[in-house]
Structure 1
Amino acid sequence: MKSVTRSIGALIGSLLLVLSGCGAQEEEISSGEKINVVTTIAQIGEPISVIGGDRVNVESLMGPSVDPHLYNATQGDIKTVEKSDIIFYNGLDLEANMVEIFDKISESKPVLAVAEELPQDALLEDTEGAVDPHVWFDLNLWRQAIDSAVNELKHYSPEDADYFEENKQQYFDELEKVEMEAEKIADIPENQRVLVTAHDAFRYFGNMHDMEVIGLQGLSTEDELGISDINETIQVIKDHAVPAIFVESSINQDSIQAVIDGAQEDGVDVALGGELYSDAMGESGTEEGTYIGMYRHNLDTIYDALYEGAE
């Protein structure tokens, strides 16, 4: 633990040196110059790249299969941050190992935790009172979070405000289409509308689409998984005749396989429903590498496994 603390401290120290060195170079954005935006997760970065269009350069620190709960900043991240004009991150302890760094950076440039801009009463908590950070699975809440980021872009570059607003409205129109497509989840028999995944990342999804959600681990992938968690999940599968459960692209599959194996030993047949994107999106250049494409993939995968499996 001491070595980890020293590493983080060294990174913060490096950041302070970098930021103090470039402070004198900070100037208002000139006409035609792109805004360099750095985000932690692609769920923020990709929508901002669409809305920002040719007025922004966007780089996300955490790519496909990266677990933000466990992520630590690298020296390469410091160089990326040095070039940035604005930084957006989720907040709510999703990127817990980077909060101290962001607090330091915010002294010299705009830094916004987009999920922390949401109304407190809209946020979900676990049984111990910890706030669930996975708000991008509620389309309405994520629309608000992205809107807060766009407002920051407008404030930084007022001359581009109308451009950003027009692109944002077009993007939000596409989100409304996804919301309409999601209505098919209601076709899954209510008793079997149970979503079992590796960790508790889909509670906002379940809240929006009227599904019971069970995550083997808690809100963070650092939470411990016990035999009792597996056995309780198997019992839920039995009680609801759940036809399929799901792995996550950024989480080890062993826990879900343990549930499948345990259920089979107990005489319960449950299938692997497919892979969902939770804390990370797909590869850049693919449909699943976009926020809308990722969301549609999850909708289709859940629907196909639970609706067809229930028939």
Structure 2
Amino acid sequence: MFKQISMKKIYLIFITIAFFGCKNTSEDNGKLKVVTTTSMITDLVKNIGGDLVEIEGLMGAGVDPHLYKASEGDVSKFYNADVIFYNGLHLEGKLVEVLEKMEGQQKTTVALGEFLDKKELIGSTYFTSNYDPHVWFNIQFFKQFAEKVTAVLSEKAPKHKAAFEENNTVFQEQLSQLELEVRSIIATLPEEKRVLVTAHDAFNYFGKEYGFNVVGLQGISTATEAGVQDVQKLSDFIIENKVKAIFIESSVPRRTIEALQQAVLSKDHEVIIGGSLYSDALGDAGSVEGTYIGMFTYNVNTIVNALR
């Protein structure tokens, strides 16, 4: 496991890299070297860049971006990158200072969430940005992400602009098809059953777009832990609303939802764990759920099947 580092150590790494003139490997193979943070953004850049870019994603399956801290290896990757894409809106809270230092190193850093219309975002006092950062659960926002990635890659490697734009056209069509499929599946679930209880509030944009009442045990950020009162309050909500199923998340310890289930069962109400949803990270690389489209489809099917 990579060693986590302090900001003081990061400064020393910057100085060391600059002194020894660490060579950018994109000069060796002619490809843009791109570093991404979350697995959703990694998959997005792969769809647009294809074989024309060299991508290094920091966060794999099951990694919580709220709690992720930079390692020495991460800082080196940032320094050697031509472009850094990240979610922004303070999702990668513990990486913010490092990314800001990269801007000072004249690196192209792109916080994709910052380019969305703030009037369309959900407000949140839990984040410095004052917005809920889980914007990828609105497919239309993700389509805007793809447009921005295409523009940046085209600017950095203009000779491949036509290829990037063609890849974006294909991906936009796939996302439009995903939207149609998602709405078709959700239409089979009666509106009164659209109550989604999860480990933390990662699904508010999903709920807003598709008519779900979303309730998270830990709130929007996993940096805050649920207490006994939170569990009891939510268990009462589940009973009052006759919720059939609650859901764990792949990037959040399952014990929080298991404790909630036990609290509900102790009050003589039956509730099942309807499955594990992918919230802040995709599934394993190489799996269907390891792609944005596969993850979204899996989540919707899991939710609808359990609540139906």
Query: Do the structures match in fold with TM over 0.5?
Result: yes
Q: How does 1:150-161 map to 2 (within 5 A)?
A: 150-161=150-161
Contact 1:42 1:280 in 2 (8 A): yes
Q: State how far apart, in whole Å, the 2-side matches of 1:16 and 1:112 are.
A: 23
Q: Distance in 2 between matches of 1:126 and 1:196?
A: 19
> For 2:32, which of 30, 35, 41 is the aligned residue?
35
- In structure 1, distance between residues paired with 2:11 and 2:91: 19
Give the match for residue 95 of structure 1.
Answer: 92
Query: Who is 1:182 aligned against?
Result: 182
Closer, same or farther in 2 for the Cα pair 1:267/1:167, shift >3 Å?
Answer: same
Name the CA shift for 1:49/1:201 in 2 (closer, same or farther; >3 Å).
Answer: same
2:122 is matched with which residue: 100, 106, 124? 124
Partner of 1:47: helix, strand, or coil? helix
CA distance in 1, matches of 2:59, 2:272: 30
Give the drift of 1:132: 0.6
Contact 1:64 1:280 in 2 (8 A): yes
- Distance (whole Å) between structure 1 residues aligned to residue 79 and residue 288 of structure 2: 30
* Displacement after TM superposition at 1:230 (Å): 1.3
In the alignment, structure 2 segments of 5+ residues that lack a partner are: none
Structure 1 residues 51 and 280: alpha-carbon distance in aligned structure 2, compared to 1, 3 A threshold: same
- Structure 1 unaligned spans of 5+: none
Give a deviation string over 1:155-190, Cα, whole Å, max 9, x none.
111111111011001011111111111112132122
Q: Give the root-mean-square deviation of aligned CA atoms.
A: 2.1
Matched with 1:164 is: 164
How many Å apart are 1:143 and its aligned residue?
1.1
Query: 1:146, CA displacement in angstroms?
Result: 2.5
Shift of 1:94: 0.8
Superposition deviation, residue 285 in structure 1: 0.6
Matched with 2:237 is 236
Secondary structure at 1:133 match in 2: coil
Alignment partner, residue 64 of structure 1: 61
Cα shift at 1:127: 6.2
Is this contact kept in 2: 1:195–1:211, CA < 8 A? yes
Shift of 1:19: 4.7
Deviations 1:185-220 (A, max 9, x none): 132122220010001111011111110100101211
SS in 1 for 2:220: coil
Residue from 48, 53, 72 that aligns with 2:50: 53
* Cα 1:225–1:96 shift into 2, 3 Å: same
Give the distance between the partners of 2:225 and 2:28, measured in 1 at CA: 51
One-letter code aligned to 2:302: T
State, as a whole percentage, how many aligned pairs show the same letter: 39
Contact persistence 1:88–1:111 (CA under 8 A): yes
* Divergent runs of 4+, >6 A: 29-32
1:112 aligns to what?
110
Shift of the alpha carbon at 1:298? 0.5
Q: Give the letter for the 1:123 counterpart.
A: L
Say whether the 8 Å CA contact 1:195–1:214 is kept in structure 2.
yes
Query: Residue 11 of structure 1 corresponds to which residue in structure 2?
Result: 10
Query: In the alignment, is residue 211 of structure 1 matched against residue 212 of structure 2?
Result: yes
- CA drift of 1:237 comes to 1.4
The residue correspondences of 1:220-299 to structure 2 (distance < 5 A) are 220-299=221-300
TM-score norm. by structure 2 comes to 0.92
* 1: CA distance, partners of 2:253 / 2:7: 26
Is the CA contact (8 Å cut-off) linking 1:243 and 1:271 kept in structure 2? yes
Question: How far apart, CA to CA, are the structure 1 residues paired with 2:282 and 2:29?
Answer: 31
1:129-140 superposed matches below 5 A: 130-140=130-140
Give the total of aligned pairs.
Answer: 301
CA distance in 1, matches of 2:9, 2:29: 36
**2:202–2:280 contact (8 Å) kept in structure 1:** yes
Residues 16 and 140 of structure 1: CA distance in aligned 2, closer, same or farther (over 3 Å): farther
**Matching of residue 76 in structure 1 with residue 73 in structure 2:** yes
Relative distance call for 1:44 and 1:197 in structure 2 (3 A) is same
**Inter-CA distance 266–148: structure 2 relative to 1 (3 Å threshold):** same
3-state secondary structure, aligned to 2:35:
strand
